[in-house]
């Protein structure tokens, strides 16, 4: 997702500033274009010459770099960028960002930024833990900024604790994942200035022959006349609440044993991330899995962790009335032990475990379903796939069902790929084998095309 992206990298006066070189290298290797904006204190820790060599761009630090009337436009930088990353970000810069103290080029660029902003704090443990710093971080989060949490480790002071900037490679990964999961739910117009005939490079330097193309301010002429470009962001599920279940359930036999299955939750998590990308309010009810949401999507998704079918049923019943749609992707155990031993069962020969049926979550929500709500089920079959899926579709009052078969090798449990068919009252649509993230996109395309318009959409 970073290929072709324009990134403003803000560097502040921290000992961790040297790691900015590794961040730049990581961004450039993934195809990003990087423009550095550094504070005066930042230049005490790393030289602009080093940074310029890595980015192939002049480093911006001051409003006025020459005495010939040229200047750096923080507004143009804010329009040029696809993202702004401030790494490292000191406590002082956090405070200025939180309160709008625009006394350097980095802060004015931040205040003018139209794109998402990512902040990687770096400071000593006591400074990070101080209530003022924590309050500033919360304030910045409330503005919609993404905080890349520092790690615990050895600090420049010789102490150990939380405050060490996240490692450069992980910061680049975070940015990459976040741009993929971006869910800005508004449309906005940005003014993209005309590119000069000299082929200047991008948005903020006004010095003739050295600038950045889209906002080159040739001597005394100011910015070129702007062409408005409308950016319509991916928001096909804006205003929707989607409920998703994922993973297995574990049904206890005793304190150390259970009945379960091989579900990894990968398909359900991919569906949750796809809905989040499209602007939905997502509730993910997850059984016991090791799968994790992409870091940049995790804060967009309400995750409820459960273990048993009964717990998943209760959570789903509680959340479904507020949902526009529910996608029941979890591999729920059909049976559970009638009795659960209080202590570990010892080896004493043959053991008979009496099983009783678990509640049918899909059927329960099918009975609850109100006009305007959609209910999507999954059918994992080993034989008679079509007949079994059609039977579930009708019996459980589903709007459509996603069919996968264990006879398709390299799909289903624990796999990164899947091959599905979607069946509804109008027939069947088959899809090729592909990564689960792409399968999720196919399913959500189908769901989005089937949802009734929101009342606000009709009125508009």
Active-site residue set: 261
**For residue 408, what are the contacts with CB-CB under 8 A and spacing of at least 6?**
419, 433
Instruction: Give the Cα-Cα-Cα angle 57, 59, 64 (nearest 5 degrees).
Output: 120
Element (H, E) at 243: strand 241-246
As to burial, measured by CB atoms within 10 angstroms (0-12 exposed, 13-18 middle, 19+ buried), residue 341 is middle
Helices (H), 131-288: 131-142, 168-180, 266-277
The rounded distance, in Å, linking the Cα atoms of 416 and 408 is 13
C-alpha span between 320 and 366 (Å, rounded)? 10
Q: Among all chains, which residue has been given the structure tokens 């202590």? A: 343
**Residue 409, exposed/middle/buried by CB under 10 A (0-12, 13-18, 19+)?**
exposed
Distance of CA 256 to the CA centre of its chain: 35
Tell me the C-alpha distance between 294 and 271, whole Å.
Answer: 12
Quote the CA–CA distance of 255 and 234 in Å, as a whole number. 46
Residue 231's contacts (CB-CB under 8 Å, 6 or more residues apart) are 187, 188, 189, 190
Which residues partner with 285 through β-bridges? Answer: 245, 304
Q: What is the 3-state secondary structure (H, E, C) of 267-333?
A: HHHHHHHHHHHCCCEEEEEECCCCCCCCHHHHCCEEEEECCCHHHHHHHHHHHHHHCCEEEECCECC
Q: Are 247 and 263 in contact (CB under 8 A)?
A: yes
**DSSP conformational letter for 189:** E
Residue given tokens 């401030």 in the structure block: 86
Q: Are 419 and 398 in contact (CB under 8 A)?
A: no
């Amino acid at each position: 997702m970073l290929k072709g992206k324009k990134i403003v990298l803000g560097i502040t006066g921290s000992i961790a500033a040297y790691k900015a070189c590794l961040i730049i290298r990581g961004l450039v290797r993934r195809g990003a274009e990087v423009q550095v904006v550094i504070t005066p204190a930042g230049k005490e820790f790393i030289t602009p010459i080093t940074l310029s060599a890595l980015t192939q761009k002049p480093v911006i630090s001051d409003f006025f770099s020459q005495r010939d009337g040229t200047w750096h436009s923080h507004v143009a930088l804010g329009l040029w960028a696809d993202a702004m990353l401030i790494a490292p970000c000191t406590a002082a810069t956090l405070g200025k960002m939180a309160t709008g103290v625009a006394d350097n080029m980095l802060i004015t660029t931040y205040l003018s930024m139209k794109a998402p902003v990512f902040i990687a704090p770096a400071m000593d443990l006591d400074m990070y833990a101080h209530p003022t710093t924590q309050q500033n971080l919360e304030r910045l989060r409330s503005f919609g900024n993404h905080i890349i949490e520092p790690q615990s480790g050895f600090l420049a002071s010789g102490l150990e604790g939380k405050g060490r900037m996240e490692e450069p490679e992980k910061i680049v990964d975070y940015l990459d994942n976040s741009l993929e999961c971006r869910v800005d739910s508004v449309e906005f117009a940005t003014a993209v200035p005309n590119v000069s005939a000299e082929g200047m490079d991008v948005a903020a330097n006004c010095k003739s022959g050295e600038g950045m193309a889209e906002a080159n301010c040739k001597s005394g002429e100011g910015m070129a006349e702007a062409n408005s470009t409308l950016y319509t962001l991916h928001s096909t599920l804006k205003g929707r609440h989607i409920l998703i279940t994922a993973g297995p359930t574990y049904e206890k036999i005793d304190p150390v044993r259970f009945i379960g299955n091989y579900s990894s939750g990968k398909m359900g998590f991919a569906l949750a991330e796809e809905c989040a990308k499209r602007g939905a309010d997502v509730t993910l009810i997850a059984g016991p899995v090791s799968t994790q949401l992409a870091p940049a999507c995790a804060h967009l998704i309400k995750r409820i962790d459960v273990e048993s079918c009964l717990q998943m049923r209760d959570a789903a019943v509680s959340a479904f009335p507020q949902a526009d749609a529910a996608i029941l992707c979890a591999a729920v155990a059909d049976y559970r032990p009638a009795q659960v031993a209080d202590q570990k069962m010892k080896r004493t020969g043959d053991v008979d475990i009496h099983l009783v049926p678990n509640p049918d979550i899909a059927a329960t929500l099918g009975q609850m379903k109100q006009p305007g709500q959609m209910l999507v089920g999954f059918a994992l079959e080993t034989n008679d796939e079509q007949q079994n899926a059609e039977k579930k579709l009708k019996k459980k009052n589903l709007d459509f069902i996603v069919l996968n078969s264990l006879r398709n090798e390299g799909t289903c449990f624990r796999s990164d790929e899947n091959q599905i068919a979607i069946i509804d009252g109008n027939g069947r649509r088959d899809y090729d084998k592909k990564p689960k993230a792409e399968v999720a996109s196919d399913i959500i395309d189908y769901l989005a095309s089937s949802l009734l318009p929101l009342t606000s959409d009709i009125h508009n």
